[in-house]
């Protein structure tokens, strides 16, 4: 088989100085922070320059008389233990030494209220602080659509409520998740515990494009507009109909579901599929990113995997995360074959060799490879450039040699 190397001209809008923009945005709030301990919740996603953003926020808070500290805010991730979640924060480069502030990690929560959609919980360390500066990237959610999806509100409602809130959120019928975020988010804003938020937007190349500081009482009002801006940046694959998609790496660092469902066009939620593009017949995943620390949530979205991916799975971490969401399809182990070469051979034998695409992961989509038969369709995509002549798909020690 031969493949064309393709570059997508995605939206590029990187901030020249991310730390300076964080300071400028916080200055523009015109709000002095609480003169005491301020919690900064930190999630498990691979957000571009998140150490820089958190460090800059901490520096600004100290400069203005506050005492910042970090709290892991990641629902049921990394085994749903205080130790595991602190390790995840540190693995993303946010150690106490690097950030110049302590990490206070606990799974203990305080019940804030009970509302129609369930109980509202908040991390105890954050609850006992004098204020909270919530930070998160605003993007499309992998389970549902709505005016707020993955962003500040979800961090407040789910991440900061640890496994208790994650269980409540994911026990809700998928179409109701958007309503839960709005209802519980308002309760948390009204609690007075939150001082402000820093919303991050990333461009098509996974670069920090915008940072927006929002007063707490404006988070619910302004996040929908930021989500609309995210859609302008969001990268997608350029072909709507594929027979085979090969994903080099999956993992929590790329998406909450290992592979972004908005990219692959498949939610993996029984009885709920609201995505109509792209339409992909077969998906194969070849490896699990080391940064995911064994959490292979979303592996069940694939039809085939390699043995090396399967060997990298921490079954306990994966189970806890998937069990908490309730979408057990995402934990099912697909057909497992020896290596990349065997995966390709078996898929070709059964499904043919046309309409194939290779991507590095579901987050980095600027460089991809397509089978020869897709040349004309790719050439017709204004954002795509074909690089040179098609190259033969080769293997070394069972792994393909396409270079991203």
Residues 6+ apart with CB under 8 A from 272: 144, 174, 175
Our count of domains for the chain comes to: 2
Sign of CA dihedral 373, 352, 142, 47: negative
* % of residues, the chain, pLDDT over 90: 76
Model confidence band, residue 46 (pLDDT cutoffs 50, 70, 90) = confident
- For the domain that residue 203 is a member of, what is the CATH number? 3.40.50.11440
Q: Quote the strand ranges of 97-150, DSSP E.
A: 109-115, 118-123, 131-137
> Is the pLDDT confidence value at 79 over 80?
no
Claim to verify: residue 361 and residue 266 sit in the same structural domain: yes
Could you tell me if 250 and 258 are in contact, meaning their C-beta atoms sit under 8 angstroms apart?
Answer: yes
Burial classification of residue 87, based on how many CB atoms lie within 10 Å of its CB (0-12 exposed, 13-18 middle, 19 or more buried): middle
274-299 residue pLDDT tens:
777 899 999 999 999 998 999 999 99
> Is the pLDDT confidence value at 157 over 80?
yes
Helix (H) or strand (E) holding 33: none
Instruction: Decide if 193 is inside a domain.
Output: yes
342-382 residue pLDDT tens:
999 999 999 999 999 999 999 899 999 999 999 999 999 99
Model confidence band, residue 129 (pLDDT cutoffs 50, 70, 90) = very high
Claim to verify: residue 107 and residue 208 sit in the same structural domain: yes
Q: How far apart are the first and last CA of the chain?
A: 18
Phi, psi of 145 (to 5 degrees): -115, 155
> Is the pLDDT confidence value at 404 over 90?
yes
Q: Pick the last residue of a domain from 233, 255, 276.
A: 233
Nearest Cα residue to 308 out of 317, 316, 299, 320: 299
Helix (H) or strand (E) holding 113: strand 109-115
Count of residues in the chain: 404
Rounded Cα distance, 307 and 287, in Å: 9
Q: Pick the last residue of a domain from 170, 199, 233.
A: 233
pLDDT of residue 40: 98
Rounded Cα distance, 64 and 130, in Å: 14
Instruction: Decide if 25 is inside a domain.
Output: no
Instruction: Decide if 24 is inside a domain.
Output: no
Claim to verify: residue 327 and residue 189 sit in the same structural domain: no
Rounded Cα distance, 323 and 317, in Å: 10
pLDDT of residue 164: 86
- The structure's pTM equals 0.81
Claim to verify: residue 173 and residue 242 sit in the same structural domain: no
> In the predicted model, what is the mean pLDDT of the chain?
93
Claim to verify: residue 90 and residue 222 sit in the same structural domain: yes
pLDDT of residue 261: 92
Max CA-CA distance within the chain? 66
DSSP state of 93: T
> Is the pLDDT confidence value at 243 over 80?
yes
Higher pLDDT, 273 or 95: 95
pLDDT of residue 124: 96
pLDDT of residue 403: 96
Claim to verify: residue 117 and residue 156 sit in the same structural domain: yes
> Is the pLDDT confidence value at 175 over 80?
no
Rounded Cα distance, 272 and 324, in Å: 18
Model confidence band, residue 334 (pLDDT cutoffs 50, 70, 90) = very high
> Is the pLDDT confidence value at 188 over 90?
yes
Instruction: Decide if 18 is inside a domain.
Output: no
pLDDT of residue 279: 95
Claim to verify: residue 58 and residue 191 sit in the same structural domain: yes
Could you tell me if 68 and 54 are in contact, meaning their C-beta atoms sit under 8 angstroms apart?
Answer: no
> Is the pLDDT confidence value at 26 over 90?
yes
Claim to verify: residue 223 and residue 255 sit in the same structural domain: no
> Is the pLDDT confidence value at 271 over 80?
no
Instruction: Decide if 333 is inside a domain.
Output: yes
pLDDT of residue 301: 95
Instruction: Decide if 26 is inside a domain.
Output: no
Q: Quick check: bond before 158 cis, omega within 30?
A: no
Claim to verify: residue 261 and residue 180 sit in the same structural domain: no
Average pLDDT over residues 308-315: 97
pLDDT of residue 9: 94
DSSP state of 304: E
Instruction: Decide if 21 is inside a domain.
Output: no
CA 268 to each of CA 16, 175, 224, 239: distance values in angstroms, whole numbers, following the listed order: 38, 14, 25, 20
Instruction: For the chain, give percent helix, strand, coil, nearest 5.
Output: 40, 25, 35
Q: Residue 279 sits in which domain range?
A: 2-10+236-400
């Amino acid at each position: 088989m031969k493949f064309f190397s393709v570059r997508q001209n995605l939206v590029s809008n990187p901030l020249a100085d991310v730390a300076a923009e964080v300071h400028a945005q916080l200055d523009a709030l015109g709000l002095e922070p609480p003169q005491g301990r301020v919690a900064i919740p930190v999630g498990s996603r691979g957000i571009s320059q998140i150490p820089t953003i958190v460090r800059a926020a901490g520096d600004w808070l100290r400069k203005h008389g506050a005492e910042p500290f970090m709290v892991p805010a990641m629902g049921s991730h990394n085994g749903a233990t205080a130790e595991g979640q602190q390790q995840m924060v540190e693995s993303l480069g946010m150690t106490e030494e690097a950030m110049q502030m302590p990490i206070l990690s606990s799974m203990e929560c305080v019940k804030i209220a009970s509302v129609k959609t369930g109980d509202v919980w908040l991390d105890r360390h954050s609850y006992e602080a004098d204020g909270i500066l919530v930070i998160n990237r605003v993007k499309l959610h992998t389970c549902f659509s709505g005016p707020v999806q993955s962003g500040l509100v979800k961090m407040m409602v789910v991440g900061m409520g640890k496994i208790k809130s994650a269980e409540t959120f994911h026990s809700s019928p998928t179409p109701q998740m958007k309503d839960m975020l709005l209802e519980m988010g308002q309760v948390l804003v009204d609690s007075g515990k939150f001082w402000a938020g820093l919303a991050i937007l990333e461009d098509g190349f996974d670069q920090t494009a915008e940072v927006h500081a929002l007063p707490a009482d404006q988070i619910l009002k302004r996040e929908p507009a930021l989500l609309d801006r995210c859609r302008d940046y969001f990268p997608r694959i350029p072909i709507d109909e594929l027979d085979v998609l090969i994903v080099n790496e999956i993992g929590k660092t790329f998406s909450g579901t290992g592979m972004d469902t908005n990219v692959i066009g498949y939610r993996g939620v029984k009885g709920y599929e609201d995505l109509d593009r792209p339409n992909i017949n077969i998906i194969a995943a070849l490896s699990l990113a080391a940064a995911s620390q064994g959490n292979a949530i979303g592996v069940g979205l694939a039809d085939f995997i390699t043995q090396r991916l399967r060997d990298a799975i921490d079954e306990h971490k994966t189970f806890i995360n998937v069990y908490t969401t309730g979408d057990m399809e995402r934990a099912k182990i697909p057909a497992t074959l020896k290596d990349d070469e065997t995966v390709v051979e078996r898929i070709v034998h059964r499904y043919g060799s046309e309409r194939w695409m290779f991507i590095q992961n579901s987050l980095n989509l600027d460089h991809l490879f397509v089978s020869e038969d897709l040349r004309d369709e790719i050439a017709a995509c204004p954002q795509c450039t074909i690089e040179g002549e098609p190259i033969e798909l080769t293997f070394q020690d069972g792994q393909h040699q396409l270079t991203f």
